[in-house]
Structure 1
Amino acid sequence: MTTLAARSRTALLVIDVQKGVVAEAHERDAVVANIAALVDRAREEDVPVVWVQHSDEDLVKGSDAWEYAPELIRRDTEALIHKNFGDSFEETELEDVLAAAEAGHLVVTGASTDACIRSTIHGAFVRGYDVTLVGDAHTTDDHSKWGAPPPEQVIAHTNLYWRYQSAPGRRAAVTETKDVTFE
């Protein structure tokens, strides 16, 4: 139902599951395992997998912390988007990659829930994409010492409000890994 013409396909986004981003993340191992399972399913179903990798002054490009979690191996044929902002679309070639793949529906996974995940799902939605957030395949660190809720509440709240997003001609949804369909 996307508002993007001739974009009937779905793409899986794997956002910032980098060593330095998820090292201390809430339920890290379970989330990474869910993402790995989705990557495997997407590959089996010939669904484009798009990897997004963040860098900034705290996450230096080429450093060990910048590398993807070792459980997740990108294939050379799969797109890799380098970004410097929370929204994976900002000053990147993500839109061009998705257009070439004819993707109008995005299935979103990764880190960090309260930053790059939220920025990207909102960015995609306002750009006309249908966006499914995989509720058990995104995570964040504990920022409660700075006044944020504990990570499990940040994740739960994001899942709660995303399932009720609406806009003309677009769909927002939240689903669990086991229930993801790439249709």
Structure 2
Amino acid sequence: MELETPMTTLPDRPRTAVLVIDMQNGVVAEAHERDTVIANIVTVVDKARAADVPVIWVQHSDDELPRGSESWAYVPELVRRDGEPLVHKLYGDSFEATDLESVLAAHAVGHLVVTGAQTDVCIRSTLHGAFTRGYDATLVADAHTTEDLSGYGAPTPDLVIAHTNLYWHRQEAPGRRGGTLRAQELSFS
């Protein structure tokens, strides 16, 4: 299924970009369906590269993910190419106190295709952050994941993922829209 023409409220932003958020060793070590999600992200990234769609990598750091550490590093299955932007962040929303907005502006991007981790924190925060800033945002339904926090009262990861896909599927507001697609359905042509 081909992505719809962006409706973004951002002027002169006709392009789409893929975000790969926080697929770092320490973030996804215990993630739900880790290997399947990584394979689906590889599919999305390969499709984007083949269509000359920018791929933007987002990398979180904090006390548990110190910059330069093994836990901070991206999983070995996902390799950023030279020239693909890398955005460093300290907060859940990939826009908050980062250069993501200027990177997207430089590429004339008004529509984001979102993948990565963790569904209930950084994915949701970034989706909402993009939407409130005027971007269209498509969530790749089978290319995001989270760890099991049910011991703290959260739903199990499969339910967190399903719920996020459910409510984002029909997300819309004046001049912009959300939506979900599966990795195999996604087409950038």
Q: Bin the TM-score by the shorter chain.
A: over 0.9
Identity across aligned pairs (percent)? 66
Alpha-carbon distance in 2 for matches of 1:56, 1:174? 30
Give the structure 2 partner of residue 72 of structure 1.
Answer: 78
Compute the RMSD of aligned alpha carbons: 0.7
User: TM-score with structure 1 length normalisation?
Assistant: 0.99
Quote the residue 2:95 is aligned against.
Answer: 89
Q: Structure 2: which 5+ residue stretches go unaligned?
A: 1-6
The letter for the 2-side match of 1:115 is V
**Structure 1: gaps (5+ residues):** none
Once the two structures are overlaid, the 10-residue window that deviates more, 158-167 or 66-75, is 158-167
Cα shift at 1:164: 2.2
Alpha-carbon distance in 1 for matches of 2:44, 2:26: 22
Q: Which of 162, 166, 182 is 1:176 aligned to? A: 182
> Which runs of at least 4 in structure 1 moved beyond 3 Å after TM superposition?
none
Residues 94-149 of structure 1: CA distance to partner in whole angstroms, max 9, x if unpaired?
00000000010000000000000000000000000000000000000000000000
One-letter code aligned to 1:137: A
CA distance in 2, matches of 1:117, 1:158: 9
The alignment of Structure 1 onto Structure 2 pairs a total of residues equal to 183
Shift of 1:68: 0.2
Question: CA–CA distance in 1 between the matches of 2:188 and 2:145?
Answer: 21
CA distance in 1, matches of 2:179, 2:164: 11
TM-score by length of 2: 0.96
Instruction: Please state whether the residue corresponding to 1:97 is helix, strand or coil.
Output: helix
